Amino acid sequence: MPRDLRIWLGGGFILFLILVAMFAPLLAPFDPLEQDLMAATAAPGVEPGHWLGTDSLGRDVLSRLIYGTRIALTVAFVAAALACLLGTTLGLLAGYYRGWVDAMVSRLVDIWMAFPPVLLSILLVAVLGAGLTSVIIAIVVIDWTRFARVVRAETQQQARLEYAEAASALGMGHGAILWREVLPNVLPVVLVLLSLEMGIAVIVEAILSFVGLSVSTDTPTWGGMIAEGRQIIYQAWWVLVFPLGALFLTVLAFNQLGDGLRQWLDPMLKR
Amino acid sequence: MSPVIDIRNLSARSAVGPILRDVSLSVNAGEVMALVGESGAGKSTIAKAVLGILPAGIEVTGGNIFFEGTDLLALSPARLRDMLGVRIALIPQDPLTSLNPARRIGDQLTDGLRLRAGMNRKRAFDRAMSLLNDVHIREPERVLKRYPHELSGGMRQRVLIAQAFSLNPHVIIADEPTTALDVTVQKQVLRLIRDMQREHKTTLLFVTHDLGVVAQICDRMTVLYGGKVLEQGFTAQILKNPQSPYTRALLAASPRYDQPEQSLEPVPEALIAELQREISA
């Protein structure tokens, strides 16, 4: 797929999701928490207004899907941004200063990578207690290593180049060289990783919701909907399939955006 | 006249072996001194030692580098940084990699002016514009908005020359500034460096392997081999009447534009073997 198309499609879908999340109260045809036991597990289009059907408690699937984007996007943006900030900072310092800073960060990354990430996140949230903040903390604590590893390698490479030497011959301090010379060259990689990380964060949040460790069950989340739908998959497939589809498309969009950005920002692939 | 740069008995080594052996040389104010030698002669190491940017793995094992009476090797990194750019500047070797590919020319050129001279953005850009004028870049206001990859090699080297002169340093170290350029552009850039040097009365330490370049712009020259000084003196004298057999061999290995049919002689292997023996002794 051409890179521009990837960026437009991926970015467009994410923009659409942002708008949906912002205007959820206006867009949702029903209150996502309103139960209507008379209309429970109604197939899409059977009950008037319930276009995507209802779940086992008669709640509107479309409305719950719409409200679910709020949690998904909040986690995607906040957790990914914080993981990016932490990982990039440590990666820059490790790659630039080397020596004991590098040794410490690298060992930390090695230790982190030794744990299976999903298990670690479940463990973390179990310790921290369920809730949105815990989910975000868990994702940050686990995924900063992705940024640290890549940024460290990239920084090492950039700091060796002559423009960094020329800057120090100009009397620029380490801070100035890192901030003004190295960071702008590392930024493209960071942006790509950030986009991919948002997709990962959405999945992790869904996993944690699925096992009931995310926000409380009265807040609609895609993961929570999938967990509920799983139990009645043979009676009401729509309760499972629509949130699964939303999750799939969202992650796909973030990945496409990331891939598109990578090609777009890479000067060797340009022109 | 006291020398601006006075290097005394400088020695340096890497894990592989010695790189500089007891190098002494001094450069007087306003003069252009050439450091000549083949690859591995240690000429760039001397330049980097003065700037305190020796690559990891190379360390100075002895000697002093006096700059206007201060021993640069005894300075703390912070004190040395205070001098760099403002009193000692560098024209780097490769204009293609010495400019940051991710930053606009204007931002890079004004770094020194803003960070070191404390100018605000507006004033720094005005000054950058006149600097680009000085190095004969047309439409400087447009060039300031460009990225390095949008400029030719010659243009980029001019930008780097403008940057080196931007804070009116007393000494500029030019590390093979024309090696990466086309021959035709080389000539223009050399003339530009010479003109700027005369106008600002800057002391210039010019690292090169090209005797043609030395003949064109350097007052005095130091010939290095294997990290050792073989010969030192006025350029005109050395080129006319070289004392060291190595310098003679080097001259015989250089093309002469007035006698193109004359064949070039490589440096004899017997001579290299003898030099190696002399150095390791």
pLDDT at res. A71: 92
Q: Which residues from A are below 8 Å from B when comparing CB atoms?
A: 161-163, 165-173, 176, 180-181, 184-185, 187, 267
Provide the residue type at B183 as one letter: V
Higher pLDDT, B277 or B13: B13
Q: Is the pLDDT of residue B281 over 60?
A: yes
- What per-residue string of b and e applies to B134-143 under the rule 16 or more CB within 10 Å gives b? bbebeebeeb
ipTM (interface predicted TM): 0.80
pLDDT at res. A271: 41
The pair of three-digit structure tokens given for residue B157, joined into one six-digit string: 């080297």
Q: Is the pLDDT of residue A103 over 90?
A: yes
Task: For residue A60, give the DSSP letter.
Answer: B
Chain A closest CA to B37's CA: distance in Å?
A: 22
| Contact of A210 with A204, CB cutoff 8 Å | no
H-assigned helices in chain A: 3-22, 24-27, 61-97, 99-113, 117-128, 132-160, 162-169, 174-176, 183-210, 222-231, 238-265
Mind listing the pLDDT tens digit for each residue in A52-97?
888 888 899 999 999 999 999 999 999 999 999 999 999 999 999 9
Region A163-179 average pLDDT: 89
Chain A closest CA to B116's CA: distance in Å?
A: 8
pLDDT at res. A254: 95
pLDDT at res. A1: 66
SS3 assignment, position B98: coil
pLDDT at res. A250: 96
User: Is B102–A184 a contact, with Cβ atoms under 8 angstroms apart?
Assistant: yes
Burial of B69 (C-beta count, 10 Å sphere; 0-12/13-18/19+): exposed
Higher pLDDT, A145 or B266: A145
User: Is B53–A168 a contact, with Cβ atoms under 8 angstroms apart?
Assistant: yes
Region B231-236 average pLDDT: 92
User: Is A172–B163 a contact, with Cβ atoms under 8 angstroms apart?
Assistant: no
Mind listing the pLDDT tens digit for each residue in A1-41?
677 888 999 999 999 999 999 999 998 888 888 888 888 88
Cβ pairs bridging A and B (under 8 Å): 70
Report chain A's mean pLDDT, rounded to a whole number. Answer: 89
pLDDT at res. B183: 83
Burial of A123 (C-beta count, 10 Å sphere; 0-12/13-18/19+): middle
SS3 assignment, position B84: strand
Chain A closest CA to B254's CA: distance in Å?
A: 29
Identify which of A162, A170, A267 has the shortest CB distance to residue B85.
A170
For residues B71 and B56, what is the distance between their CA atoms, to the nearest angstrom? Answer: 21
Choice among A138-142, A251-255, B39-43, B60-64 with the minimum mean pLDDT: B39-43
User: Which residues have a Cβ under 8 Å from the Cβ of A113 and sit 6 or more positions away?
Assistant: A145
Identify which of A173, A184, A267 has the shortest CB distance to residue B103.
A184
Beta bridge partners of B208: B36
Q: Is the pLDDT of residue B237 over 50?
A: yes
User: Which residues have a Cβ under 8 Å from the Cβ of A133 and sit 6 or more positions away?
Assistant: none
Mind listing the pLDDT tens digit for each residue in B13-48?
988 888 999 999 999 999 999 999 888 888 889 999
Region B1-10 average pLDDT: 88
Mind listing the pLDDT tens digit for each residue in B141-150?
999 999 998 9
| Contact of B131 with B199, CB cutoff 8 Å | no
Choice among A84-98, B104-118, B120-134, B258-272 with the minimum mean pLDDT: B258-272
Q: Is the pLDDT of residue A128 over 80?
A: yes
Region B240-246 average pLDDT: 88
Provide the residue type at B233 as one letter: G
State the virtual CA torsion across A238, A241, A242, A248 in degrees, nearest 10: 180
For residues B6 and B171, what is the distance between their CA atoms, to the nearest angstrom? Answer: 12
The pair of three-digit structure tokens given for residue A66, joined into one six-digit string: 């719409």
pLDDT at res. A160: 85
For residues B71 and B174, what is the distance between their CA atoms, to the nearest angstrom? Answer: 21
pLDDT at res. A159: 86
pLDDT at res. A264: 83
Domains delineated in chain A: 3-22+73-217+241-270 (1.10.3720.10)
pLDDT at res. B97: 87
Identify which of B84, B94, B149 has the shortest CB distance to residue A162.
B94
Task: List the one residue out of A164, A172, A155, A268 whose CA is nearest residue B98.
Answer: A164
High-pLDDT (> 90) share of chain B, %: 56
Chain B closest CA to A271's CA: distance in Å?
A: 13
